[in-house]
């Protein structure tokens, strides 16, 4: 099996930008969202991702990579303020991320509650946090059928992970922010053990190279030291968590080595960080070996010797700012508001002070703007502040640089790479660099850089494999073998097995639903039978458990369960229910049917039908059968011709029956018609006369001739209609064989052996059937649809010997499909119907119309010698084929 499936990737944020990460993955009806962050440069609603572009109730899960606000802070809004909670979506993050996220969000809520556009209440936050499912790195999580994921270490900050997501077999690696360099406390990002189809990777630094760790640490500590020496204050804006811990570890260690600095305080201005230290100490086991060995030696690296917390009194910033030289790590990192902003405004006018930007600064924030070293900047109160403070940038941000990122991207070996979390130009340069790298090596890797809301559709041609097990696997298959069995699909994996093995291998069992319908009815059993036979042909009548029963089309029992009560009983399936519905409609309409009235009240007589002897008395008597009940009987043929006459009279008024015996000289010849007429004129015929125009219907070949073309055509059309009307359902269902020209050819080419064809015939219901458990029913379904589709024209009169079927109504689907291949099929070219109809019975009695619309006549059988044997084929729109064999 193969099929085409499309993965849709939509960035609701972090598409060609850094901030408000939110990536939506949609595949095979599943929706997974990676990250839900805010944009630090904006506030309120504007800081959210474009959440209105997703129906959050359809989301299966949200995966948060790490606790940074640009990856996690929109989560509360989404879980509490959107219709996410109306769905079945779950939220996952690692244990440390959840622990820190709680503090981060409390801090975020506190910060934003001071402004008027708070996104949510503290209550919302509590609710959101409670619903988060914490997971461990390397743990395989099954979200719902078809969706699973595994987190892998991403470095970056405590608890950060990448997600390797599996949606219906498609593997996607979403990195989030990641680092490939082991720092003082974290492990580096891992390469997942298997190759994903799609890699969604951050591109924060694009093609930039970051300096080596030793080099930048040296530069950092020297810079701090020199600012202190010149009598200045050092401002290190940093986020409370993440890089701050790394910087503190570096400074603590440097101070330890430099006793002359011991009187210089290092302040860590964050209550949040104080709270989170407990989390850091809890999750030491997730950190690198450096930290773990120190911890094992009872030297807890997060118990700093030289770091002091700022006094918790109001206005501490001013106090510190006016005091002696010191180092202050203050949040937030982008200096939009808060302690870091306040300290900057206080220290900016003094040239002795120094500002060191240590992380990646997002566009639109003061941390980014100040790096251009402007003469002045605007304070929070709208005042202009001169900038004399020195500005340096030493990046400790734990993102990959070009070398690390390109190496990682190549190692992952995904066919599609999607760059996110990078500014447009930066991302563009990375894309160009990677593209040329792949081009050099002649590798076909697609690199995408979708913008926000620009949905990227990736098509995957998934070959789906079904495993054959149980009895089906007993014998090793040979090339070109056709295996047929029951296809069981579970969570996007497929198993093919013998229906008998179903319970053993899948724990599933088949069951049969028996439907029962009781009808109260005031008409007699025989009348019911007469109507059923009229509609369905032969019905089997007998006693079942002492109850008078008729079986309709072999599947539906009509039982006389009480005097004025019938019970319909059948095994439920799509086709059987259909039969039951029609039977029910028929039976409930019986007492209103004019035919019933006619049959039960007045003797039926007709002036024109030939030898209508059997119908001289049309009262229903106990064993009178509808002519449809036995399509082969003479009575039935006569009946049908009678009905045909009625039909034609209804359309054309009086018609005449012409018997060849009565008239030596064919009437048609007298009237000077062409020689075609001569062929049919020795058959019994109906003559339709309309003023001067005459049309003749030959009753054996059922061809129409005439001296007036418009009338001839009209008669032909009415005849077609009449033929479809006078045959019963079971006849049309069982004799209309689906013969598709292509199948037919294939079958002939493959083999003429019946066994092979029987096998093919078998395969159809089990693979097509609704559940495959009702093989018999499915067969009928297949058959029914086959005949209604219209088979290719076949020439059924070619070879008597080839027609081995029993009578048409008893033929089953398999037989009828086989027949055309046993016969040499003639692909009859479309012929004008008049020509086809002019053919003699001996040559061919089938008519063909435009192309595939020819009648399906495979089950037709010629029985030389049987008089007036008549087979009809119902074909709704096109020429039905009716053969009458003399």
Residues that bind Zn ion (CB under 5 A): 68, 70, 177
Q: Which is nearer to Zn ion, 21 or 673 (CB)?
A: 21
DSSP 772: S
CB of 70 to Zn ion, least distance (A): 5
In whole angstroms, the minimum distance from the beta carbon of 84 to Zn ion comes to 22
> Which stretches does DSSP call E strand in 210-365?
234-237, 266-269, 307-309, 327-330, 354-357
Q: What whole-number distance in Å separates Cα of residue 334 and Cα of residue 40?
A: 8
CB distance 1 to 24 below 8 Å: no
CB closer to Zn ion out of 66 and 551: 66
Closest CA to 154 of 404, 332, 394: 404
Phi, psi of 713 (to 5 degrees): -65, -40
- ∠ CA 876-533-700, rounded to 5°: 55
Minimum distance, C-beta of residue 397 to Zn ion, in the bound complex (Å): 8
Nearer to Zn ion, 76 or 397 (CB): 397
96 neighbors 44 (Cβ within 8 angstroms) = no
Contact 515, 577 (CB under 8 A): yes
Give the DSSP per-residue string, 149-198. Answer: EEEEE--SSTT-EEEEEEETTEEEEE--S---S--SS-PPPPPPSS--SE
Q: At what angle do helices 775-789 and 813-822 cross, to 10 degrees?
A: 50
We find the least distance from the C-beta atom of residue 494 to Zn ion, in angstroms, to be 40
Distance in angstroms (rounded) separating the CA atoms of residues 486 and 468: 10
| Closest to Zn ion by CB, 17 or 197 | 17
Nearer to Zn ion, 177 or 317 (CB): 177
- Taking the complex as a whole, the smallest distance from the CB of residue 1 to Zn ion amounts, in Å, to 41
Please identify, using beta-carbon distances, which residue of 177 and 815 lies nearer to Zn ion: 177
Burial (CB < 10 A; 0-12, 13-18, 19+), residue 280, is buried
Task: Pick the closest to residue 96 from 151, 17, 42 (CA basis).
Answer: 151
Cα dist. 591→119, 392, 529, 850 in Å? 71, 99, 13, 42
Q: In whole angstroms, what is the distance from residue 625 CA to residue 531 CA? A: 9
| Tokens 């069992």 belong to residue | 509
Closest CA to 178 of 411, 439, 10, 425: 411
**Of residues 304, 298, 362, 375, the one with CA closest to residue 68:** 362
Round to whole Å and give the CA distance between 476 and 220: 70
Q: What are the residues facing 149 on neighbouring strands? A: 141, 165
Return the number of the residue (177 or 841) whose C-beta is nearest Zn ion.
177
> Active-site positions?
399
In the complex, least distance from residue 72 CB atom to Zn ion, rounded to whole angstroms:
9
CB 601 within 8 A of CB 536: no
Residue 78 tokens, joined: 């989404």
User: For Zn ion, which is the closer residue by CB, 73 or 629?
Assistant: 73
In angstroms, rounded to a whole number, what is the distance separating the alpha carbons of residues 66 and 382? 35
Nearer to Zn ion, 13 or 684 (CB): 13
Segment holding 11, helix H or strand E: strand 2-13
> Least distance (Å) from Zn ion to the CB of residue 160?
7
**Shortest distance, position 228 Cβ to Zn ion, whole Å:** 30
**3-state secondary structure string, 680-694?**
HCCCCEEEEEECCEE
Contact 234, 327 (CB under 8 A): yes
Judged by beta carbon, residue 161 or residue 697, the one nearer Zn ion is: 161
Please say whether the beta carbons of 614 and 590 come within 8 A. no
- For the bound state, the minimum distance from the C-beta of residue 240 to Zn ion, rounded and expressed in Å, comes to 13
Chain-centroid distance, C-alpha 165: 18
Asked whether the beta carbons of 719 and 697 are under 8 A apart, the reply is yes
**Cβ neighbours of residue 399 under 8 Å, at least 6 residues apart?**
156, 177, 178, 179, 202, 204, 205, 360
């Amino acid at each position: 099996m193969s099929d085409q499936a499309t993965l849709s990737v939509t960035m609701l944020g972090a598409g060609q930008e850094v901030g408000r990460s939110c990536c939506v993955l949609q595949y095979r009806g599943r929706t997974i969202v990676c990250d839900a962050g805010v944009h630090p440069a904006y506030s309120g609603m504007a800081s959210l991702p474009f959440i209105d572009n997703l129906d959050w109730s359809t989301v299966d899960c949200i995966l948060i990579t790490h606790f940074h606000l640009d990856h996690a802070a929109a989560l509360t809004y989404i879980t509490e303020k959107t219709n996410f909670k109306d769905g079945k979506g779950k939220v996952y993050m690692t244990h440390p991320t959840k622990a820190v996220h709680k503090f981060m969000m409390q801090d975020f809520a506190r910060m934003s509650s001071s402004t008027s556009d708070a996104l949510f209440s503290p209550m919302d936050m509590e609710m959101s946090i409670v619903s988060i499912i914490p997971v461990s790195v390397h743990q395989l999580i099954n979200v719902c059928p078809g969706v699973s994921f595994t987190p892998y270490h991403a470095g970056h900050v405590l608890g950060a992970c990448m997600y390797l997501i599996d949606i219906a077999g498609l593997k996607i690696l979403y990195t989030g922010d990641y680092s490939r360099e082991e720092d003082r406390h974290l492990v580096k990002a891992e390469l997942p053990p298997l190759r994903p189809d799609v890699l969604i990777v951050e591109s924060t630094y694009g093609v930039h190279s970051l300096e080596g760790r030793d080099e930048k640490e040296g530069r950092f500590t020297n810079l701090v030291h020199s600012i202190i020496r010149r009598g200045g204050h050092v401002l290190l804006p940093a986020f409370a968590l993440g890089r701050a811990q790394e910087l503190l570890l570096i400074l603590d260690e440097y101070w330890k080595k430099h006793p002359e600095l011991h009187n210089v305080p290092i302040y860590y201005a964050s209550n949040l960080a104080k709270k989170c230290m407990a989390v850091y100490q809890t999750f030491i086991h997730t950190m690198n070996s450096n930290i773990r060995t120190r911890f094992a030696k009872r030297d807890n690296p997060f118990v700093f010797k030289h770091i002091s917390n700022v006094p918790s009194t109001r206005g501490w910033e001013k106090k510190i700012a006016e005091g002696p030289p010191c180092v202050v790590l203050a949040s937030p990192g982008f200096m939009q508001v808060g302690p870091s902003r306040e300290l900057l405004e206080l220290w900016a006018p003094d040239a002795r002070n120094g500002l060191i930007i240590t992380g990646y600064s997002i566009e639109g924030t003061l941390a980014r703007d100040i790096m251009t070293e402007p003469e002045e900047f605007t304070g929070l109160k709208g005042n202009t502040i001169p900038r004399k403070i020195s500005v340096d940038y030493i990046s400790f941000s734990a993102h990959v640089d070009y070398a690390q990122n390109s190496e990682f991207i190549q190692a992952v070996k995904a066919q599609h790479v999607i760059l996110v979390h990078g500014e447009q130009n930066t991302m563009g340069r990375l894309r160009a660099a990677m593209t040329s790298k792949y081009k050099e090596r002649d590798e076909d890797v697609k690199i995408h850089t979708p913008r926000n809301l620009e949905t990227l559709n990736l098509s995957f041609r998934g070959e789906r494999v079904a495993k054959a097990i149980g009895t089906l696997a007993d014998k090793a298959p040979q090339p070109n073998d056709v295996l047929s069995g029951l296809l069981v699909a579970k969570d996007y994996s497929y198993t093919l097995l013998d229906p008998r093995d179903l319970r053993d291998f899948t724990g599933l069992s088949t069951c049969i639903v028996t439907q029962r319908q009781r009808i109260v009815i005031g008409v007699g059993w025989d009348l019911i039978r007469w109507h059923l036979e009229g509609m369905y042909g032969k019905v089997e009548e007998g006693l079942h458990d002492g109850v008078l029963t008729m079986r309709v089309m072999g599947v539906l029992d009509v039982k006389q369960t009480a005097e004025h009560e019938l019970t319909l009983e059948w095994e439920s399936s799509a086709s059987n229910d259909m039969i039951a519905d029609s039977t029910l409609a028929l039976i409930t309409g019986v007492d209103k049917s004019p035919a019933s009235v006619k049959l039960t009240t007045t003797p039926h007589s007709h002036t024109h039908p030939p030898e209508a002897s059997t119908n001289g008395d049309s009262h229903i008597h106990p064993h009178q059968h509808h002519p449809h009940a036995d399509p082969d009987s003479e009575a039935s043929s006569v009946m049908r011709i009678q009905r045909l006459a009625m039909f034609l009279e209804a359309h054309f008024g009086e018609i005449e029956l012409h018997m060849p015996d009565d008239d030596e000289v064919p009437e048609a010849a007298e009237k000077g018609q062409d020689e075609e007429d001569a062929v049919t004129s020795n058959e019994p015929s109906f003559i339709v006369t309309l003023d001067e125009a005459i049309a003749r219907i030959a009753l054996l070949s059922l061809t129409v001739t005439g001296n007036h073309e418009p009338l001839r055509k009209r008669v032909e059309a009415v005849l077609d209609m009449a033929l479809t009307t006078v045959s019963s359902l079971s006849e049309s269902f069982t004799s209309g064989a689906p013969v598709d020209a292509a199948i037919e050819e294939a079958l002939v080419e493959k083999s003429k052996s019946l066994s092979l064809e029987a096998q093919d015939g078998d395969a159809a219901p089990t693979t097509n059937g609704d559940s495959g458990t009702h093989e018999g029913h499915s067969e009928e379904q297949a058959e029914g649809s086959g005949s209604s589709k219209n088979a290719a024209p076949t020439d059924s009169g070619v070879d008597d010997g080839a027609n081995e079927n029993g009578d048409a109504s008893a033929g089953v689907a398999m037989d009828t499909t086989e027949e055309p291949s046993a016969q040499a099929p003639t692909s009859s070219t479309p012929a004008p119907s008049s020509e086809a109809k002019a053919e003699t019975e001996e040559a061919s009695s089938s008519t063909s119309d435009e192309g595939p619309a020819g009648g399906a006549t495979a089950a037709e059988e010629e029985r030389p010698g049987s008089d007036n044997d008549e087979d009809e084929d119902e074909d709704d729109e096109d020429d039905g084929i009716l053969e009458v064999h003399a």
